[in-house]
Structure 1
Amino acid sequence: MANEYGIEHVPGPWECVGESWWFTCYPLGGNKNNVRGASHPLDFHEGANDSFYGGIGMIMIVRYTSTPVGPYDELLYVPGYYNTPHASGSRYRITNIYVSSKETTYNGRRNWNIPKHLAVFNFDKSETTGQTKITVAHPETPDNPFFVAVIKDIPIVSKIGVPLSTSLFPMNLEFHQPNIKAVDTPEGKANGETGTETWQSFQPWMGGKARFVQCVDIKNGNGDGTWPDQVDGVWGAVLRWDPGMKLKFPAGTELPKSNL
């Protein structure tokens, strides 16, 4: 049954299949400053993201071929760790994210406080150069992407794929997401940009075959604050998860309300 947004609610857990590119963001001097556009200006209550701690951040691009709400594309930004009122240590946080489906926009926001917005994605692989150009644009300006990345294989290195899962990663991959605001516009309502009342925590899992590729060019932002114009310390080596990668999202755990 459709909800007030005209979209069916599909609660977690979710099991998904797809492929992904992970861009590591960590300057040599350390990740100390949150940047303008790290979070979308319409999503979070004032002060929610003031408690930035730092650490390794990431930009992720995911192409889902199978999810409980159908296939879709995704671009997300995790600046690093944030101090949280619900744990003694810091936790990761998704602060900016775009997807190609209103069904996952609504459910991602409602189930996990993931502040999704709609965008237009394009993946163009050149048969001449072997490079893949990935662009993401706002629906109203599809010819002016706010994110562009050009990826190519690294000779010999990219031929080596190894089984990998996030269970092997040395960092804490639990996310603590503050409650988010509804986008109270006709477009926001049509796109499923709902709000929530309490914090949520969850720890996703990814597994599959992965290899390293190279980012030869990247553009961030259009100056409007809806995506960071400058992401410092983006590494040239990108972790490429092959098609068939599996991702599991557990049901979110509701956390107490907070003044943050």
Structure 2
Amino acid sequence: MANEYGIEHAPGPWECTGEAWWFTCYPMGGNKNNVAGAANPLDFHPGVNDNFYGGIGMIMVVRYTSTPVGPYDELLYIPGYYDTPHASSSRYRITNIYVSSKETTYNGRRNWNIPKHLAVFNFDKSETTGHTKITVAHPETPDNPFFVAIVKDIPIISSIGVPLSTSLFPMNLEFHQPNIKAVDTPQGKANGETGTKTWQSFRPWMGGKARFVKCVDMKNGNGDGTWPDKVDGVWGAVMRWDAGMKLKFPAATELPKSNL
């Protein structure tokens, strides 16, 4: 039965298949200054994202071909580690995310406190240059993207795909997500932008064959009017996860309420 948003609930765990691009931010030592606009102020309660610790950040683009709510595209921002009231050390946090499906908007917000919003995606590979151009735009302005990334293969290097799993990564990939606010507008309800009441934690897993490609250009302006026109600190080498990549989201663990 559909809920008040007109969308079926698909609780975790989720097992998904697709392909992805990882744009690593500040790979050498990490950034101590958060990127302006990396978190949408409509989603979070005041002050909750103030305690930014830094560390290696990431911008990810994912094309899911199979999920419990069907195929969809995704752009997400993980600036780095944040202090959390539920652990003695900081944890990663997804602070902003755009998707092409209202079904995943609602379920991502409800299941894991992931602040998803609807967007329009386009992937265009040039047969002439070999460049892949990825654009993301707000539904109201589909011809005016706020995110543009151009990637291309690196001779010889990009031909080498290596089996990889996040289980091998040395960092703590447990996410602590604060409760989020509902976007209480007719459009917000239509898009499935629900709110939550408690913090959630989860540790996703990702595995598949990965290779390096090159980021030729990236612009990340006008997401909410505050991002700079060009992203600083993004490493030019992009980790490209081939089609068939697996991503698992376990059911979240509810954390105690916090004053943050």
TM-score strictly above 0.5: yes
Name 1:43's counterpart in structure 2: 43
The corresponding residue for 1:171 is 171
Of residues 207-216 and 227-236 in structure 1, the stretch that sits farther from structure 2 once superposed is: 227-236
Give the counterpart letter for 1:245 in structure 2: M
Q: Could you list the per-position Cα deviations for residues 152-182 of structure 1 after superposition, in whole angstroms to 9, with x for gaps in the alignment?
A: 0000000000000000000000000000000
Distance 1:95 1:134, change over 3 A: same
Q: Is residue 157 of structure 1 aligned with residue 165 of structure 2?
A: no
Instruction: Assess, with a 3 A threshold, how the Cα gap between structure 1 residues 63 and 223 changes in structure 2: closer, same or farther.
Output: closer
SS at match of 2:7: coil
From the superposition, tell whether residues 223 and 243 of structure 1 become closer, same or farther in structure 2 (CA, over 3 Å). Answer: closer
* 1:68 aligned partner, one-letter code: P
Question: Could you say what secondary structure the match of 1:235 adopts?
Answer: coil
The answer to whether 1:190 aligns with 2:194 is: no
- Structure 2 CA distance for aligned equivalents of residues 221 and 253 of structure 1: 34
Alignment of 1:50-65 (within 5 A): 50-65=50-65
CA distance in 1, matches of 2:98, 2:199: 20
Partner of 1:257: 257
- TM-fit CA distance, 1:232: 2.4
Separation (CA, whole Å) in 2 of partners of 1:58 and 1:169: 14
Deviation at 1:27, TM superposition (A): 6.4
Letter of the 1:255 partner, please give it: L
Which amino acid is 1:211 matched to?
Answer: R
Inter-CA distance 233–136: structure 2 relative to 1 (3 Å threshold): same
| Contact 1:40–1:227 (CA under 8 A) maintained in structure 2 | no
Name the count of aligned residue pairs: 260
> Is the 1:13–1:249 Cα contact (8 Å) retained in structure 2?
yes
CA contact (8 A) 2:121 2:136 kept: yes
Is contact 1:36-1:229 (8 Å) kept?
A: no
- What percentage of residue pairs aligned between the two structures are identical? 89
Structure 2: distance between partners of 1:206 and 1:144:
32
Distance 2:252 2:66 in 1: 20
Kept in 2: contact 1:41–1:226 (CA 8 A):
no
TM-score (norm. length: structure 1)? 0.97
RMSD of aligned Cα (Å): 1.3
